[in-house]
Amino acid sequence: MDDQNAAVKEVLNNNDAAAVAEIQKYLEKQKNIPLNIAITGESGAGKSTFVNAFRGIKVGEEGAALTGVVETTSEVTPYPHPNYPKLTLWDLPGIGTTKFPADKYLKLVGFEMFDFFIIISADRFRENDVKLAKEIQRMKKKFYFVRSKIDNDIQADRRKRDFSEERTLTKIREYCVQGLWKEGFEDPQVFLVSSFELYLYDFSLLHETLERDLPAHKRDALLFAMPNISLKIINKKKEAFQSKIKYYAALSAVGAAVPVPGLSAAVDLSLIVKVVTDYAAGFELDKSSLERLAHKAGLRYTDLSAVIKSELASVQITKELIMKVLISLAGPVTSMAAEEVSRWIPVIGTITAMGLSFVTTYKVLNYFLNELADDSVMVFEKALALMPSP
C-alpha cells in the first residue's frame, strides 16, 4: 500500500490531521507539476501552428501564436495551455535565424528548463536541425523529430492515379529517416503530423512516445492537456481521474460536509464542485472548448452540444447546481447497496458518519466522471464524423 492509501485509512479511522494534510499536499502537487515543451525548427516549418493546435487554440484567438508571417518567432515565447497553465509550449526561434552555433543556441534559450524538445520541419531535416538534435542529446535532454504539414503531401499525392495514403506516408517517413541516418542517427524516429488534423497520422503515437519517455509523475500533466484526439485519450483521462477519487472522497469525509436530501450521507459540495470542474476541463466539455470544437467541425454550437446528456457540461459548475443534480439523482444512483459499503470496510473500518460520507462522495464522483466521460465520447464522435479528411 502506498503512502497516500495509508493516509486514506488514517483519515477515515482516526481523522488524523497529518494524514489529511498529506493527501491535500499530494493532490495539490499533482495539479502543479510543470511541463515545459520546447518547439523549434526553421521559420515557416509550422511551429506556431503546432503550438496553437496542441493547445486547441485558433489562429487569431486571444493567446494564439502568430502564424504564417515571415520570421514571426524571433525570441523565446511561452504559450501556456488555456486549461492547464502549468503546461507551457515554448516557441523557440529556428536555430538558423539566430546565427548561433548549437551549443550557444541551447544556452541562449535556457535549455535546462525544458522537459523535451520537438524539432519541426516541413521537409527533410536540415543541417541545423541535426546539429541542434545532437547538442540536445549531449545535454542529456530528449528531442523528437516532427515532420509537419502532412495533409499537404497527402493532398498533392491524391491526384496521382495509384494513390495510396500508406505509401505516401511511408515515402515521407523513409525520406526523413534516411536523411537522419546519413547524419549519424542510428535509429531515428520521425512523427508525421498535420496540425490541422491532429487526430490523423502520428500525433497519437507522438503522445504515446512522450508519455513513455517522461518520468511517471509528469505523465498525467501531459495527458490532461492533450486534446481529445482519440477515444483512447478520453479513456486514459478517465482512468487518471478515477485513480484520484478515493483521495477526494477521504477529504470530503473530513471536510465541510452538508447533508443533501436523498443522499445517505453528507458530502463536501465545494470539493465536489472543484473536482467536477476539473473533469469538465479535462474532457473539453467547458464552454470555450466546445465552441472551438464546433467551429472546427463546422457545426453550430447548439448542434454539437445537443449530444451532451450531463447538466454539468458547458456551464459554470456551482454548489447549487451540484446540489440540484444530486437531489434529482437521489435514489438509484446515490443510495448504497450493502455490498458496496462492505467493499470499503477494510479501508474505512467501521461504518461511521465519516465512512458513509467517504463512500457517498466516492459514488457521486464516479457517477459524474462516468457521465462526463460518456459525453466527451459523444461529442468526439459527433465532431469527428464531420472533421475534414485530406
Q: Are strands 142-147 and 116-121 parallel, antiparallel or unpaired?
A: parallel
Q: How far apart are CA 277 and CA 272, in angstroms?
A: 8
Least distance from C-beta 256 to ligand GDP, angstroms?
Answer: 48
Dihedral class, residue 10 (left if φ above 0, else alpha if ψ from -120 to 50, else beta): alpha
Q: How far apart are CA 383 and CA 390, in angstroms?
A: 16
Contacting residue, 4, 36, 43, 209, with ligand GDP by CB under 6 A: 43
Q: Which stretch binds ligand GDP (CB under 6 A): 46-54, 104-112, 275-283, 365-373?
A: 46-54
Least distance from C-beta 45 to ligand GDP, angstroms?
Answer: 4
Least distance from C-beta 294 to ligand GDP, angstroms?
Answer: 21
All residues at 6 or more sequence positions from 72 whose CB lies less than 8 Å from its CB, including other chains: 43, 48, 65, 66
Question: Which of positions 343-362 make contact with ligand GDP (CB under 6 A)?
Answer: none
Contacting residue, 73, 121, 305, 376, with ligand GDP by CB under 6 A: 73
Q: Any contact of residue 289 with ligand GDP (CB under 6 A)?
A: no
Q: Any contact of residue 190 with ligand GDP (CB under 6 A)?
A: no
Q: Any contact of residue 72 with ligand GDP (CB under 6 A)?
A: yes
| CA torsion, ordered 27, 30, 32, 38, to nearest 10 deg | -170
Contacting residue, 7, 22, 23, 44, with ligand GDP by CB under 6 A: 44
Q: Any contact of residue 305 with ligand GDP (CB under 6 A)?
A: no
Least distance from C-beta 79 to ligand GDP, angstroms?
Answer: 11
| CA torsion, ordered 254, 258, 261, 264, to nearest 10 deg | 10
Give the residue with the Cβ less far from ligand GDP, 83 or 195.
195
Give the residue with the Cβ less far from ligand GDP, 9 or 124.
124
Q: Which stretch binds ligand GDP (CB under 6 A): 2-10, 65-73, 301-309, 327-335?
A: 65-73
Q: How far is CA 248 from CA 132, 228, 288, 337, in A?
A: 44, 25, 27, 21
Q: Any contact of residue 301 with ligand GDP (CB under 6 A)?
A: no
Q: Contact 4/16 with Cβ under 8 angstroms?
A: no
Question: Which of positions 194-213 make contact with ligand GDP (CB under 6 A)?
Answer: 194-196
Q: Any contact of residue 314 with ligand GDP (CB under 6 A)?
A: no
Give the residue with the Cβ less far from ligand GDP, 68 or 101.
68
Contacting residue, 38, 67, 135, 313, with ligand GDP by CB under 6 A: 67
Q: Any contact of residue 121 with ligand GDP (CB under 6 A)?
A: no
Q: Any contact of residue 252 with ligand GDP (CB under 6 A)?
A: no
All residues at 6 or more sequence positions from 31 whose CB lies less than 8 Å from its CB, including other chains: 86
Give the residue with the Cβ less far from ligand GDP, 82 or 93.
93
Q: 159-162, long-range: CB within 8 Å, 24+ apart, which pairs?
A: none
Lay out the site mask for ligand GDP across 127-166 (x = CB under 6 A, - = otherwise).
---------------------xx-xx--------------
**CA nearest neighbour of 359 among 344, 339, 346:** 344
Q: Any contact of residue 55 with ligand GDP (CB under 6 A)?
A: no
| DSSP state, residue 267 | B
Q: How many residues bind ligand GDP (CB under 6 A)?
A: 19
**One-letter amino acid of 272:** I
Q: Contact 305/290 with Cβ under 8 angstroms?
A: yes
- CA 129 and chain centroid, separation: 27
Q: Any contact of residue 382 with ligand GDP (CB under 6 A)?
A: no
In this structure, is the dihedral angle defined by the CA atoms of residues 54, 146, 33 and 251, taken in order, positive or negative? positive
Give me the helices (H) in the chain, please: 3-14, 17-31, 47-54, 95-98, 102-109, 127-138, 150-158, 165-182, 203-213, 216-225, 231-242, 245-254, 269-282, 287-297, 301-305, 319-329, 338-348, 353-386
Q: Which stretch binds ligand GDP (CB under 6 A): 135-143, 191-199, 227-235, 370-378?
A: 191-199
Contacting residue, 7, 11, 38, 46, with ligand GDP by CB under 6 A: 46
Least distance from C-beta 68 to ligand GDP, angstroms?
Answer: 3
All residues at 6 or more sequence positions from 199 whose CB lies less than 8 Å from its CB, including other chains: 229, 230, 384, 387
* Binding region for ligand GDP (CB under 6 A): 41, 43-49, 67-68, 72-73, 148-149, 151-152, 194-196
